[in-house]
Amino acid sequence: MRRTVMSIAVAAAAILVAGCGAAKKTPPPLVAPPADSCSDPTHQQRLQVLLAARSRTGSDVAYGVSPGDVLIVTVYNYRPEGGDFTSEVRVDERGYLSLPMIEPVQVVGMNVGQVHRALVRGLRQAEVLNEPLISVAVKDYQGQEVVVLGAVARPGMYHLSRGKQTLIDVLSMSGGITAAAGNYVLVRPAHATGLTGEVVAQAYAIHHDAEQDPVVRADTDNLPVCLETESGQPDPVLSMLQVRGGDLIIVPEAGKAFIEGEVEKPGPYQLSRGMTLTQLVASAGGFTFPANTRRLRLIRRAVGGDTAEWEVDLRRPGSATQPDVRLSRDDRIVVPYTLGRKAAYGVYQFVTTIVRITVGGAANIF
């Protein structure tokens, strides 16, 4: 009976297909995974500029001294016998640095080079040494603070206690990322923040806005850094990018992707980090019989707010010719149907319904 019903359905579908016009214009085929927020070439280029700048200037050089910081000061050949004077000195609450041989020096806001020059002037004015030779280094950075928000265990403000701490160090200080985290970390460098209340409030608003990707809403000062590479390994940038006091770090939640068309359970689905298109289809219950698995449409909001669209062939996901796609927040997947299979399936459902009613009615007679 089932074979007879399907034969009728296929025959009816063939008649319907014969009367159909030309297919609609399709988007370009996907030949490589589309760039998500953190792998976009524009962001990558700006990230490399920031990496290079912070590698060239050590944290001591760029850092402005704050009250509570501990500096190591060495004055060479200070003692009559040729010995050196070395001391660990804490900057007081007024921003002054005190050494026993000179008057207190105001150092708050100065970088290490400026502190060095101020101490040399003080030694000369006190006639301690004619040509002072000294070194200055920061041991404890009480004045360096970063804010970490979003999908981490303990969001908040954190002190950087030493130089050359990296993004991965700060994420560890905040308890690590949670299972709700997306594919990237959003970094707003110190020169663009100031860590004012308004900036922090704006950051919270960006993070909690579930309607749009924070990278799209944010201005050009925000840089996304991938949490993982395409192979699933931690991105090397996490341990390369040095953080500075005043940096703002947001770990956006993964958000949702939307799938519609020929799947068993269309609708929005919560993403997990690294989730792919095939995994989303599985979450949606798989394809229905009419699904055209050769021509799925992936619609993604690009950097700047525009949308881009690709055609994806999921017959061989993960192959060299058709890579699986790592999803991003707010991705939209449309699963079309094959006209012949759609018509056949419709006729099949109609005929089986009629047969079910007929058989059921006959059973009731007896």
Please state at what angle helix 2-18 crosses helix 339-365, rounded to 10 degrees: 140
Ordered by where they begin, the domains of the chain are 2-30+255-345 (3.10.560.10), 41-59+145-251 (3.10.560.10), 64-140 (3.30.1950.10)
d(CA 288, CA 286): 7
Q: Encode pLDDT of 189-214 as tens digits.
A: 876 544 444 444 455 454 444 344 44
Return mean pLDDT, the chain.
78
Q: CB–CB of 70/89 below 8 Å?
A: yes
- 68 Ramachandran zone, left/alpha/beta (phi>0; psi -120 to 50): left
Give the ranges where the chain is alpha helix by DSSP (H).
2-18, 41-56, 59-62, 112-125, 167-173, 197-208, 214-217, 237-240, 277-283, 339-365
Residue with tokens 């085929």: 29
pLDDT at 361: 52
d(CA 204, CA 129): 53
Q: Encode pLDDT of 59-96 as tens digits.
A: 555 677 888 889 999 999 887 777 899 999 999 989 99
Q: In the predicted model, is pLDDT for residue 57 greater than 80?
A: no
Q: What is the DSSP string of 144-157?
A: -EEEEEESBSS-EE
Q: CB–CB of 162/242 below 8 Å?
A: no
Angle, CA of 21, 25 and 26, to the nearest 5°: 125
pLDDT at 304: 61
Q: Encode pLDDT of 111-167 as tens digits.
A: 888 999 999 999 999 888 888 899 998 888 776 788 999 999 999 988 877 667 899
Please give the model's pTM, rounded to 2 decimal places.
0.64
User: To the nearest 10°, the Cα dihedral for 284, 286, 292, 296?
Assistant: 40
User: To the nearest 10°, the Cα dihedral for 202, 206, 211, 216?
Assistant: 110
